[in-house]
Chains A and B, each alone.
Chain A
Amino acid sequence: GESVGLHLPTLSVQEGDNSIINCAYSNSASDYFIWYKQESGKGPQFIIDIRSNMDKRQGQRVTVLLNKTVKHLSLQIAATQPGDSAVYFCAEKRVTSYGKLTFGQGTILTVHP
């Protein structure tokens, strides 16, 4: 049948809770990963990155975890706030891609006051 559009994963949380957004990547040759946040009407914004020789990296209220064994990436947001409501994209750089990032479909995060 005709596609009616992407069905993005959604996550709804209460303000103050911790959020975990997951991403599976397919290419074991990817050596660099980034999380982006896109608010309504804006372009995606860089949140945090991690190299493939790391398992964990922390920023302000955000932590990225990388599990290369199962090719899984997660973004943890502590004490989620209404301003965190957005679409979150993971992106990977493949060793052979010469500067190009490959983006996931995105996850919609909704934070309820």
Chain B
Amino acid sequence: DAGVIQSPRHEVTEMGQEVTLRCKPISGHDYLFWYRQTMMRGLELLIYFNNNVPIDDSGMPEDRFSAKMPNASFSTLKIQPSEPRDSAVYFCASSPGGGRFNYGYTFGSGTRLTVV
């Protein structure tokens, strides 16, 4: 299994531009999570999906952020317009679910976003 695959690994963009981060979860996993990690705030949950349906998006900072999961094998996190304070490492994770103790996440390698 290739694990959770994120792209791109690094993204540098100018303020005001649209940024799209991509994630392919592990096949068969029912849950998908988007996290943001910064030195200031640590690891923050932005949004998560169960069977492609958004369950909790209360961590999404503002309307500039949106996430979709059109099918079980693909999700995107979009920032439009981007701002320098969005600079962070964005992680995608997936987990099997399906049982009370089957919630260990597998994380992707992350996308390091720099907005200048």
Contact = CB atoms under 8 A, between A and B. Distances in A.
Contacts of A91: 105
A27 to B, nearest CB: 15
- Contact count band on B: 20 to 34
Contacts, number: 61
Contacts of A49: 101, 104
B109 interface: yes
Interface string B38-53: 0111110100101000
A interface: dominant SS? strand
A49 B104 CA distance: 8
Interface in B64-93: 91, 93
Contacts of B97: 99
Interface residues of A, number: 24
Given A6-B39, A51-B101, 8 more contacts: A5-B39, A31-B100, A32-B100, A34-B105, A36-B105, A43-B107, A101-B105, A106-B43
Interface of B: 4, 30-31, 33, 39-43, 45, 48, 50, 55-56, 91, 93, 95, 97, 100-101, 103-110
Smallest CB-CB A-B distances: 7 pairs? A43-B107, A5-B39, A5-B40, A99-B31, A44-B107, A103-B43, A46-B104
